[in-house]
Structure formats: C-alpha cells, structure tokens
Copies of this chain bind each other. A is one copy, B any other.
C-alpha cells in the first residue's frame, strides 16, 4: 500500500461526517458521531471536529473536501445505500480523484444476500458494488451496503453505513484492520468512580488536591467530573503504551480517591447505582420490598432494569392514594391524619408495612411532593421523606429537592437507592 507511514507517536487528527438529510430536518439525533469520537479516543486518536450534512451534492462535496484538508482520517457515516440520494461513495472518490470500478466480490456478496431471502437483487443495488480504485472493502454482516477503507497518500477515508447496528461492528473491524496499524497512538484506559449523595463541588473540593499532581507525573492522568441527577462521576483517563502499567496506575489512583471520599463512593468501575445495590443484596442473599408514593414505581423500575433482579426484588406497592397506604401497607389512618402523607412517620410505617407483608430482609419507602401541584407553605413541592427498615432498625431522611416534576422524581429515586445501598453496606459493620 502506497504512502503508509510508521505508527505515529502523537494521535492523528480525525474528522467525522454524518451524512443524511433526515438528521437536519426531522430532529433525528446523530448518534454515530459521539460513538465514533469515543471509539477513536479509546484507540488514542483525537477527533478534531464532527459535521452533520444533508444529501445535497454540493454541501457533501464541500464537507468532504474541507475535512480532508484538515484531518488525516475522515470517517463518513450514511449515504451508502443503493438510491440516487446515496452519494457518499461517489463524492469521496471524486474528491480524492479516484476512478470507480465494479468489485466482483462485493457484487456476489450482495446477490447472495438477496438470494438467501429468496429474492433477486434489484438492479439499483449494483451501485453498491462500485468501489474507488485502491479501496479495501469493510464487510457488512448486517446489511447490503459494504464499508470502504480508502487510503490516499498520507490521508485516508473510511466510509460506513448509517444504521448504528451495521456501523458499530464495522467500525471496530476497520479500527483494528486498517486504522490502528497505520496510526495507532498507544492505548487509552479509563476508569469512572461513581459517587452518590454529594454535590459536584463537594466531590471536587475533596478530590482536587489528590488528582491535581497526577497531570504532571509520568503516565499522566486526566480527570473530569460529570454530574447527573443525584450522582457525580469522576472520570480518569490515562494514555500510554503498556496496558498493564495503565491498569496499575488507574487502580492506584481510584484507590486514593476512594479512600478520600469514603462511603459516598458507589463503585470505581462505572456500574449503575441500581446494579451496585442489586449486587450488594445478592451477595448477602437479601431480598427487598418497596413502597413508593411520589416516585410512582421509578425506584422499582430502576432496580428491576438489572437482569437477574428477580433474585433480590420481591415486590413493590405504589401507594399513590391514601387509601392504598392504609389498606395495602397498613399505615394507620391516625398517622396520616396527624402527620400528613408526606412525613417521616408515614414513610416509616410504609416501609415497615411492606416489609412485614413481604417477609423480606429490607424495605424502602418514599413519600413526597413531585409537583407541580400539591405543595403548601409547610410542605413545599420537592419535599420527600424516605425510610429504610431492616434487621438493624429504621433509618429516616427528609430531603428538599429543587426542579421540575421529572427532576424531583429522579433525585428522589436516586436518593432512595443510595440510602438502601448505605443501609446494606453499614449492616456488615455490625
């Protein structure tokens, strides 16, 4: 292959072009570009820019020309189908000045694909067998559009189909077969510490003195903080040539942060909070029951999102009405009358009620005001009471969340899962 250089020390520049008018007219999100950005990063390659462009010939030609002028590798997704709208193949060849020729192997593959379904290949699909001179085919196991790897001097283009289920495996194939042998800039390893129950600034205040020096040490670690509803993630990223050394370095870093952040650390491998809780329960052979009011089943939905959760989730009662709290959970009428539905005594009675009925090791209850209606001066929108009960007694908590209905419900669900996590973990210490 002409023009192949030895693997470069520094990551090569990559540009990504997502092709398709539907991405600009229908609000269809371009999920391919973020996926490619992350995949390139894992292989030590930096994406300089990404572009979304429609099927317009002039716009697409211009986008490809501009990208090739600024990046070593240009990855295009979409526009490889058989119709007149599908122009990526022709535009790439034209901009690179390569003639097109029919590839007998590709043509046979497309024919065979139709044949397997008892169909004859329509004539228009013949276009998909047109390949620029010097290009290598990237096989597509899940569709008719083949991918193309097109080396051209010190640059290259990679053309992949638009549907993510076809694009994703083909990208991995092309990365290992064509991209990293040419431009592999070392390895990147990442680690994510998940922290719950603390604000982004609280986490950063404690973590910053620990991670700040890492940037200037050998095998430097880049750190980023990402906050979402109720959890904070500390992402560590390390770049180098030796997989073992990178893993060792990140293990030590994660341990140092975990020691400083203590019980607030949910895990150091990016697992979800609900999966972590499920695994803690499973490890002890415990089963859980839930009584949800304002969260409307969201906590149980999240716990049962985890495959295998029937081993640790017994049941839940979503007691949206007061009648349900009384007759499905045994909350005394008098308690509701005295304290109101959103109160720690009622949360406790809900948790104890569902635990007794289910005969489980531990139970969680949530009652609150998600809004926008239902708030009062004494009990404003966003007020939520929690109770966790089990063999070592009952823990209660009242929080006041700010935000719309969706935010309050999400924060309440995350808080409930985190209180359960802390209850289960603390039970070991006794």
Please give the residue numbers on chain A whose beta carbons come within 8 Å of chain B beta carbons, in ascending order: 22, 24-29, 33-34, 37-38, 41, 46-54, 56, 59, 62-63, 66, 70, 224, 226, 235, 287, 290, 292, 295-301, 303-305, 307-310, 313-321, 323-324, 327-328, 357-359, 371-374, 405-406, 409
The secondary structure that dominates the A interface is: mixed
Contact of A323 among B49, B224, B314 (CB under 8 A): B314
Number of copies: 2
Q: Which residue from chain B places its CB closest to the CB of A22 in the assembled complex?
A: B224
8 more CB-based (< 8 A) A-B contacts, given A48-B54, A48-B56, A313-B320: A26-B226, A27-B34, A29-B34, A287-B321, A297-B298, A307-B405, A315-B320, A316-B320
A307-B372 in contact given A315-B319, A315-B324 (Cβ < 8 Å): yes
Known A-B contacts A298-B297, A319-B315, A321-B310; the reply to A357 vs B374 at CB < 8 A is no
CB distance from A119 to the nearest CB of B (A): 16
Query: Of B26, B38, B47, which contacts A224 at CB under 8 A?
Result: B26
Which of chain B's residues has its CB closest to A409's CB? B305
Q: How far is the CB of A416 from chain B (nearest CB, A)?
A: 13
Indicate if the CB atoms of B320 and A318 lie closer than 8 Å: no
Given contacts A224-B26, A305-B296, A317-B328, contact A50 B48 (CB under 8 A): no
The 3 closest A-B pairs by CB, nearest first: A296-B304, A297-B297, A315-B324
- A296 engages B315 (CB within 8 Å): no
Least distance between A192 CB and chain B CB atoms (Å) = 11
Contact of A296 among B301, B324, B406 (CB under 8 A): B301
CB of B235 within 8 A of CB of A26, answer: yes
- In angstroms, Cα B62 to Cα A63, docked, is 13
A224, A309, A320: most-surrounded residue (chain B CB, <10 A):
A320
Contacts of A405 in B (CB 8 A): 305, 307
Taking CB atoms, residues of chain B closer than 8 Å to A319 are 315
Which residues of chain B are near A295, meaning CB under 8 Å? 301
Chain B contacts of A373 at CB under 8 A?
A: 307-308
Per the bound structure, the CA–CA distance linking A48 and B55 in Å amounts to 10
> Could you say which residues of chain B place their CB within 8 Å of the CB of A310?
320-321, 374
Distance between Cα atoms of A142 and B50 in the complex (Å) = 29
A301/B304 in contact, CB under 8 A: no
